[in-house]
Amino acid sequence: MINCTVAETSAALAAGDISSVEITQAYLDRIATLNGELNAFITVCENSALLQAKAADDARANGNDRPLLGIPLAHKDIFCTKDILTTCGSRMLHNFVSPYNATVVERFIDAGTVLLGKTNMDEFAMGSSNETSFFGDVKNPWNTECVPGGSSGGSAAAVAADLCAMATGTDTGGSIRQPAAFCGVTGLKPSYGRVSRWGMIAFASSLDQAGPITKSAEDAALMLNVMSGLDKKDSTSIDRPIEDFTATLNQPLKGLRIGVPKQHFADGLSMEVEQAIRNALAEYEKLGATIKEMDLTNSHLSVSAYYVVAPAEASANLSRFDGVRYGHRCEDPTDLEDMYKRTRSEGFGEEVKRRIMIGTYALSAGYYDAYYRKAQKIRRLIKDDFDRAFEEVDVIIGPTSPHTAFKLGSKADPVSMYLEDIYTIAVNLAGLPAASIPAGIANGLPIGMQIIGKYFDEAKILNVAHQFQQHTDWHKQKSTAITAASGES
């Protein structure tokens, strides 16, 4: 059962073919077998998971039939979880036990899910490879010499390796979609404001958004049904009617207008990835869609603008980690200033320090107008590009990443790492929803396809993704390395 989708597992639980305790134990056994190699989990909650599974089985026996009741999941270790470590992949929070649950966590508890544990991540969500974690690199289940993508690499690797049925992630510039692409799973970044950020430790407040990482678009819809909705504790949460994102999954695609940005098929895109996306577009044409080449004129500016805006917000958000209230504190400080300096020097990794320094510089007197204000103006131009595009098309489709997963340690230069998110960052700057779904395999590694939608049009994105998955089997492909290691046939 551990290789089944959430929808399949839910049906099996409802039919009494398996219990939540049985499926939870199976996942825990698999985590014990494979996590030492993959390093996908920072914390495993074995005892509490089995207790939650037993409670779910009892609830089901008493007539409760919630879709996610008894389904095991994992949370990215950026979501606060009461009485459980919440580290953000950082030494700064290596000993922080949250006194409360994030809203997203609370909503999954209310849905009756079973928490298996907290997944590894790039430190404070800063990275594109999951190599900046204080707890070590996460390995890609398809090839353990390769990165799983970041910053939600632990969640993507866990879902891809069948260590959990589903997982949460966060996406600031592509951190759900890029690891989903590298690990061959489905990842959805919702519209900004669709999902509460309360209790999700902030990196860049105007960009961060939580979303699902799953084995299929249908599963992502089931998760989004639980995650979304107004939260009065979050001032950025949008008050919109709660939708059933599974209701329109099976709508036919005849007449769908797909935009293909020519900027996403330029220099730097590997031939294998381009061919896979072209093949996917041909599949959509068979399903009745029309393809239109289009311009996102300012998309080439997105990386530059992002790496001013995001570090600027990070420098403000991370100022709270000073050794005074919680988390790491240096030993034997001589005075308050010494405690601040040594605590932050010891607690933060190199990439986090780099972004804090860049952000502080961009916000400093004399440079604010030259950098931060200009980046915000570019952000508006990027949003306007999308607004114009969506007057002519229903969704925009292209590659998620220029290539498949790269080797661990192969990108020592920060700029080359930043360019990994070249196709995903513009979506966050504009606040749009987007998904990555598997669309091919090259050299034994998955290829991701990105589907971008209009504001709050997640239902359409999921419909487009689901229909593709109904007519292809890329999302069902598994890593032979992991299946062999776990003794599967």
Q: Does residue 42 form part of some domain?
A: yes
Task: Give the model confidence (pLDDT) of 349-372 as tens digits.
Answer: 999 999 999 999 999 988 999 999
Rounded (5°) CA angle 431-302-192 = 10
Residue 92 and residue 84: Cα distance in Å, rounded? 16
Residue % of the chain over a pLDDT of 90: 93
Check the CA dihedral 30-200-465-451 and report its sign.
Answer: negative
Per residue in 174-199, pLDDT (tens digit) is 999 999 999 999 999 999 999 999 99
Under the phi-then-psi rule, with left for phi > 0, alpha for psi from -120 to 50, and beta for the rest, what region is 124?
left
β-bridge mates for residue 171, sequence order: 209
Specify if 131 maps to a domain. Answer: yes
β-strands 72-76, 166-171 pairing: parallel
User: pLDDT class for 314, splitting at 50, 70, 90?
Assistant: very high
Task: Answer yes or no: is 92 within a domain.
Answer: yes
Which residues, other chains included, contact 276 with Cβ-Cβ below 8 Å and sequence gap of 6+? 439, 440, 442, 447, 449
| Mean predicted confidence (pLDDT) in 267-282 | 96
Give CA–CA dist 437/283, Å, rounded: 14
Question: Does the pLDDT value for residue 483 go beyond 80?
Answer: no
**Dihedral pair phi/psi, residue 210, rounded to 5°:** -85, 150
Separation of alpha carbons 220 and 66, rounded Å: 16
0.95 cut: is pTM over it? yes
Q: Where are the beta strands (DSSP E) in 106-162?
A: 114-119
Whole-number pLDDT of residue 488: 55
Indicate the number of domains in the chain. Answer: 1
Whether the Cβ atoms of residue 178 and residue 22 lie closer than 8 Å to each other: no
pLDDT score at 487? 56
* 290 within some domain: no
Catalytic residue set? 76, 151, 175
What is the average pLDDT across 445-464? 98
Q: Which of 376, 484, 374, 487 is nearest to 430 (CA)?
A: 376
Q: What's the pLDDT score for residue 489? A: 43
Q: Using an 8 Å Cβ cutoff, are 117 and 31 in contact?
A: yes
Domain of residue 96, residue span = 6-258+390-485
Residue 307 resides in a domain: no
List, in sequence order, every residue forming a beta bridge with 291; answer none if it has no partner. 258
Q: How far apart are CA 156 and CA 275, in angstroms?
A: 24
Report, as an integer, the average pLDDT of 104-129.
98
Distance, CA of 132 to CA of 122 (rounded, Å) = 5
Q: Does residue 149 fall inside a structural domain? A: yes
User: According to the model, what pLDDT value does residue 485 have?
Assistant: 57
pLDDT band at residue 267 using 50, 70 and 90 as cut-offs: confident
pLDDT band at residue 479, thresholds of 50, 70 and 90? Answer: confident
Q: What are phi and psi of 325, to 5 degrees?
A: -105, -40
User: Half-sphere exposure (CA, 13 Å, Cβ side) for 8?
Assistant: 12
CATH of the domain at 449: 3.90.1300.10
Instruction: Note whether residue 67 is domain-resident.
Output: yes
Q: Which of 437, 306, 291, 312 is nearest to 362 (CA)?
A: 312
Residue 11 falls within a domain, yes or no? yes
Compute CA 194 distance to the chain's CA centroid, rounded to the nearest angstrom: 15
Q: What is the pLDDT of residue 64?
A: 94
Residues 175 and 121: their CA atoms lie apart, in Å, by: 10
Across the chain, what does the average pLDDT equal? 96
Look at residues 338, 306, 27 and name the one whose alpha carbon lies nearest to residue 172: 306
Residue 441 has pLDDT above 80, yes or no: yes
Concatenating the DSSP letter of every residue in 33-83 gives: HHHHHH--EEEE-HHHHHHHHHHHHHHHHTT---TTTT-EEEEETTB--TT
Residue 350 CA from chain centroid, whole number: 22
Distance CA 386, CA 11 (A): 39
- Backbone φ and ψ of 36, nearest 5°: -60, -35
Q: Are 291 and 257 in contact (CB under 8 A)?
A: no
Residue 186, CA atoms < 13 Å, CB-side half-sphere: 29
Distance of alpha carbon 109 from alpha carbon 5, whole angstroms: 20
pLDDT at 402: 96
Q: What is the pLDDT of residue 480?
A: 76
Strand order in the sheet with 395-399: 41-44, 114-119, 72-76, 166-171, 209-214, 186-189, 434-442, 445-452, 395-399, 257-261, 290-294
Segment 361-405, tens digit of pLDDT: 999 988 999 999 999 999 999 999 999 999 999 999 999 999 999
> First-to-last CA distance in the chain?
14
What is the spatial distance between Cα 115 and Cα 125, in angstroms, rounded to a whole number? 21
DSSP letter at 139 equals P
pLDDT at 46: 97
